[in-house]
Structure 1
């Protein structure tokens, strides 16, 4: 059946909530589920509009003037800026609302007011790399280690990491927690220092799976510095901003001119209070400040084969390479280009990039086939929802379409293979980077971590549909599902390994740089694991108490026991294990497994106590040693075995059971260093 395409606001609200700069404080993965019962509240904003010709600027402005002020008020966003280009010209540009606390004095002006554009900045980094590829300074398919002298990326896999991998977010890095946004310049490392100190582990073979990586783009910024002999900021200014006439754009922090400082928009907290100017450690990944009209010049260059106002930013063939799909997640889903990615919806091919800092939320979207593009940016923490609503409203207005929902035969069978916990590949796989958590962060203010650390749980309904984030999906092809009502342009595609087993999924709910890996069922049905760990803790505690009571009785009865120092130390190790393991154990039983697998939540729970699992393992290693010594008598008087036979058996059993604690620590990556 054909069902009229409604709105995709829910899709974009979700995307806005999970992209780029996300502060995850969920106590349970189910808290990520979106309640769509109030979706009509969002849909009503655009309900009165019908499809129109975007070339009619009067009608375009009428649409925008009716929509944007409404959403700014609804989401308490002080201001936004936008520009729209069409047929290699600026079609429309306008600012709405205010850029400071005094609206009547400082309104947003599209050709004057600077906004932070977040990860849209990555597109300039990509263009710079491609310029250097054009003049043969760089090569897209050469091992990036060839460009480094101060350090080398370990050769964990046979396949080396290349610039193509970095540009498509497929280098295979894990995500590492690091300070990315600061309220001052104090302590921000150079690109070289950052790339050396924050170098993440390689956990996937390059080119096999996507995982959004700010580190990868920062690494490319460092490469640009190494091969050009200029600072990254100066290279972008000399080779892109100045030739394009983008005179109100810069990557420099703080802003380098009085004009920029005077016209910079304030970023606002959700409460409405003004924030601070954000300093980023990942400069090439998100530090650009720009105006809507400057961004229009950049969009025109990308849409006009690299040309703008007589300047050839990139060759025609290079622009084509940049905009073509280089990594396909699934034939039916949007893919990844070189830094750009596909948004394909409304039967329309869309490429672009979104960008988020703490206070600013931006989006650049291009429709090459129609020579059309737009840029928007909002200046408040609440702007991510408004930004995503704009995207939905724009395409509902100018690209309405219908979705056909045709379930495959026997669509409801064997859904159990899909229903389990999935974690984003943008997460930790190894250690917990213990040093800053144990000994305190450096003496500068860290405002927010920069990672997606999402846990999604897929369930099934009684009528043969998969459920995710409050929506239902029906199978239309093997391993491929679409939103069952046709109201939302959403898809899920599952990926199998060579043995035919489901390993991960991609979805249009998130951008294509995000993959979600299937996690072992033990993490979603933890009752048995919890019981085993509780039993281990009780046995170890019980043995410790028994030995303590026995010692007190002997002392009270004045019964002297000839015992060397080592047997006494062995028993105290047992006490130490129970003492040091109790903190992470309590964390386990009071939090969901999904939270513990995620970076920030386990940090919040453990703080400096993350050292306890390591100390526990050290003590268990000591118990293993003493368990062996107890049977052969090394270290005891007269080299006799320690204690009585029953005590030795009990100590050995407790030692073996303690290994279960190590299994727990390994499962949740708690053994940082």
Structure 2
């Protein structure tokens, strides 16, 4: 869930000069990662996509974890383009079924959509553990208030909004509630009609639990020791923060849209704001480096990483089904970038 800078210039010695496929297989075995899926862009076009591991192909869906956040940001920004939301007004003006409790930290500065998307709204709750198969799943309001069966703390303001950057999955759940309140539609349906269908993302869904029809080609989460996650995967009602199921190939479609400067989803000016570095080397839903935008993700049993370069139409998305997959994802990205001279 925590953003990781993706340094691509320096490679571990073990990856230098090795054949990519054999290297991935060796590192999967060493790190006890059962499956990994990779998609690569170059020149503004898909270069290749491949699944590694038993029963995995390029169409296998994985939990995207915090890579859900930039999709949620796109939805919110699209609603801002439509005049339904404002980036800089107090979100309590639009929230209806739940509101952020006011306190001493919100007397002069307010929680705004821009600050929520930038992780600078002063809100608590870093991330979410999800809910194991067969256990009660809370409503979004229960998540926001930390009420059972929610397994996370209440989302509250505990420092002055806009004063500093601090990663907050809880803040993105406020965004989810805000989107629901202003549209009256389900988050999954909005994602499908506003993002997935226009971009041709046919293997993406925010439906939680995962619909039965998708289970046949869905990766199963694993612990660091290689054992399967009980119940295969957790359910995440925290959709905006962690609830997306998708493939690397589908996520590269978003990278391409962002690199194109907007048009199909966002107005170009809004798209530019998404990539404008604010607090914490973070824009609106994405980490912003000098040459790239990126994000990492960590759900129970899943790790993933995405990087899109600001020039050359280049990008790499890696998704794994293991708690120990972050290292592998970074190694794969570095290897590909080095091999191609990026």
TM-score, normalising length: structure 2: 0.88
Aligned to 2:197: 242
Cα drift, residue 343 of structure 1: 4.3
Aligned to 1:600: none
Structure 2: runs of 5 or more not aligned = 4-10, 147-152
Q: Distance in 1 between matches of 2:287 and 2:191?
A: 21
Higher RCO (CA 8 Å, separation ≥ 6 residues):
2
1:190 matches 2:139: yes
Aligned to 1:233: 188
1:85 aligned counterpart, secondary structure:
strand
Q: 1:92 to 1:43 in 2, by over 3 A?
A: same
2:129 aligned counterpart, secondary structure:
strand
Aligned to 1:48: 17
Correspondent of 1:288 among 232, 244, 255: 244
Structure number with the higher helix fraction is 1
Instruction: Report if aligned partners of 1:361, 1:380 keep a CA contact under 8 Å in 2.
Output: yes
Matches within 5 A, 1:289-308: 289-306=245-262
Q: Distance in 2 between matches of 1:179 and 1:339?
A: 17
Aligned to 1:266: 220
Cα drift, residue 155 of structure 1: 4.1
Q: Distance in 1 between matches of 2:189 and 2:17?
A: 48
CA RMSD of aligned residues (A): 2.3
Aligned to 2:57: 109
Matches within 5 A, 1:336-415: 336-344=282-290, 349-399=291-341
Q: Distance in 2 between matches of 1:123 and 1:207?
A: 20
1:313 matches 2:265: yes
Instruction: Report if aligned partners of 2:45, 2:313 keep a CA contact under 8 Å in 1.
Output: no
**After alignment, is 220-229 or 241-250 more displaced?**
241-250
Matches within 5 A, 1:206-225: 206-225=161-180
TM-score, normalising length: structure 1: 0.46
Instruction: Report if aligned partners of 1:361, 1:379 keep a CA contact under 8 Å in 2.
Output: yes
Cα drift, residue 257 of structure 1: 4.9
Cα drift, residue 150 of structure 1: 3.3
Count of aligned pairs: 325
Instruction: Report if aligned partners of 1:179, 1:281 keep a CA contact under 8 Å in 2.
Output: no
Aligned to 1:169: 119
Cα drift, residue 367 of structure 1: 0.5
Aligned to 2:8: none
Aligned to 1:82: 38
> Higher Cα Rg: structure 1 or 2?
1
Instruction: Report if aligned partners of 1:169, 1:212 keep a CA contact under 8 Å in 2.
Output: yes
Structure 1: runs of 5 or more not aligned = 1-17, 21-41, 50-62, 99-105, 330-334, 401-673
Q: Distance in 2 between matches of 1:371 and 1:151?
A: 41
1:160 aligned counterpart, secondary structure:
coil
1:280 aligned counterpart, secondary structure:
coil
Instruction: Report if aligned partners of 1:361, 1:383 keep a CA contact under 8 Å in 2.
Output: yes
1:352 aligned counterpart, secondary structure:
strand
Q: Distance in 2 between matches of 1:382 and 1:126?
A: 27
Instruction: Report if aligned partners of 1:185, 1:279 keep a CA contact under 8 Å in 2.
Output: no
Q: Distance in 2 between matches of 1:91 and 1:227?
A: 39
Q: 1:69 to 1:282 in 2, by over 3 A?
A: same
Correspondent of 2:24 among 68, 92, 101: 68
